[in-house]
Amino acid sequence: MIDLLFLPTDYRATLDLLAIESAIKDIKDYFERRLAESLNLQRVTAPLFVRSGTGINDDLNGVEQPLRFCVKSDDGAPVEIVQSLAKWKRLALARYGFRVGEGLYTDMNAIRPDETLDNIHSIYVDQWDWEKIIPVDQRNLGTLKAAVEAIYDAICRTEFHIASEHSHIRPILPETITFITSEELRKRYPDLPPRQREDRICAEKRAVFVIGIGGDLEDGQPHDGRAPDYDDWTSPNSDGGCGLNGDILLWHPVLQRSFEISSMGIRVDPETLVRQLEIRQLTSRRELMFHRMLLAGQLPQTMGGGIGQSRLCMFFLRTAHVGEVACGIWPDDMVQRCQSANITLL
C-alpha cells in the first residue's frame, strides 16, 4: 500500500487537547452562524441512515460501498448509513415547503468505510451540508460564483475571529478567492496529475475554486470523480468550460499542500440528469424513487454542497492530522508514527 501519511518536521500543536476542544466548538458555532446568514439558510435535522434502493444516498464516485443493515422492527427493511446528504437535502426542501431564495443546512455525520486513511481522510466524515432553492433561469456560473464568494467570506471572517482569540494563530487567507476551470488548470500544468495541479495553483493563490469536476477534459480524463445525479458537470459555462460545480481549495501551511474544504454545485435538472446517467452508463437509476421524482418535475431547482467541519478546524488550528480535531479509528502504525512526530490523535 502507498504510504500517504505526511509527517511535518519540528511539528508542535498550537493548543493542548482541552484548548483544542474548546476552539473546535468556537469555530463551529461562529462559522455556522456566518454561513446561515450569508446564504439565508435554516438549520434542519438530518438522518444518519436512509432506506436502501431509493437513490437517496450519495454514491460519491460510484465505487464506494455504504454500510448496510436491516431494521428488525420494520420487517427487516434494508437501510444504509449516509455517505453524504447531497440528494436527501433536495427532497427535504420540497417536503418542508422552502421557497425560492431560501435554503437549509444541517450537521451531516457519515461513515465511509472505503476511505483511504491519511492526514486529511477518516472513515468518519462530518460536514455542514447545505442546499438552497434557486430560480430555474439562474442555473449559471454567476449564481455559483456568488455562493462561493459568500462561503469564502464566512471562512475569512471565522479565521479572523479565531486569530483574535489565539494570538499565535495569524490570518493567512487572501481577501478574494481565485476562480479557474479544471481545463484551464490542466493547460496551465499539462505535465502534472490533477492533485499536483491543485497544489501548484494553491501554493500561488492560497484560495482557489476549481470549476468543473466530474466531466472529461480535453485529454479524455476527468479532473476528479463526481456522481452523475446531483452536481451538474456537463453544462457549458461562461468561462469557456463545462460544469456548474467545483471545489473550494485552500493552501494548508503545515501540510504544504492544497486542502479541499468544500465540494458544491448547481444541481442537475431533468435534462442534465439523463445526459450524465447516459455518460456513466447508469440509466437504470432512472427507476429509483429520487430520480423518478426529479424527472417528473417534483423537486425544486437547487444548488448546494458540503463544507468539512473537521477540515475547517484543521485549517484554522493549523493541525497536521484530522485525528487531532476528530475522533477516529487509526492503524496502530499510524498512531505510533504520528506520536513520534508530536501529533496526538484523538
| Residue 260 annotated among the catalytic residues of the structure | yes
Compute the distance between CA of residue 45 and CA of residue 315 in angstroms, rounded to an integer. 26
Rounded CA separation 285/293 (Å): 12
Catalytic residue among 83, 84, 122, 127: 127
Is 34 labeled as catalytic in the residue annotation?
A: no
Catalytic-residue membership of 52 = no
Q: Which long-range contacts (CB under 8 A, 24 or more apart) does 33-38 make?
A: 34/153, 34/154, 34/157, 34/158, 35/105, 35/128, 35/130, 35/151, 35/154, 35/307, 36/105, 38/150, 38/151, 38/153, 38/154
Among 58, 59, 198, 324, the active-site one is: 58
Q: Among the options 34, 90, 112, 197, which is catalytic?
A: 112
Active-site residue 84, yes or no?
Answer: no
What is the three-state SS of the chain? CCCCCCCCCCCCCCCCHHHHHHHHHHHHHHHHHHHHHHHCEEECCCCCEEECCCCCCCCCCCCCCCCEEEEHHHCCEEEEECCCCCCHHHHHHHHHCCCCCCEEEEEEEEECCCCCCCCCCCCEEEEEEEEEECCHHHCCHHHHHHHHHHHHHHHHHHHHHHHHHCCCCCCCCCCCCEEEEHHHHHHHCCCCCHHHHHHHHHHHHCEEEEECCCCECCCCCECCCCCCCCECCCCECCCCCECCEEEEEEEECCCCEEEEEEEEEEECCHHHHHHHHHHCCCHHHHHCHHHHHHHCCCCCCEEEEEEEHHHHHHHHHCCCCHHHCCCCCCCHHHHHHHHHCCCCCC
From 183, 232, 247, 269, active-site residue: 247
With 0-12 / 13-18 / 19 or more C-beta atoms within 10 angstroms meaning exposed / middle / buried, residue 295 is middle
Kindly name the residue from 262, 263, 276, 310 that is annotated as catalytic: 263
Catalytic residue, candidates 52, 64, 260, 285:
260
131 has catalytic annotation? no
Which residues are annotated as catalytic? 58, 112, 127, 247, 260, 263
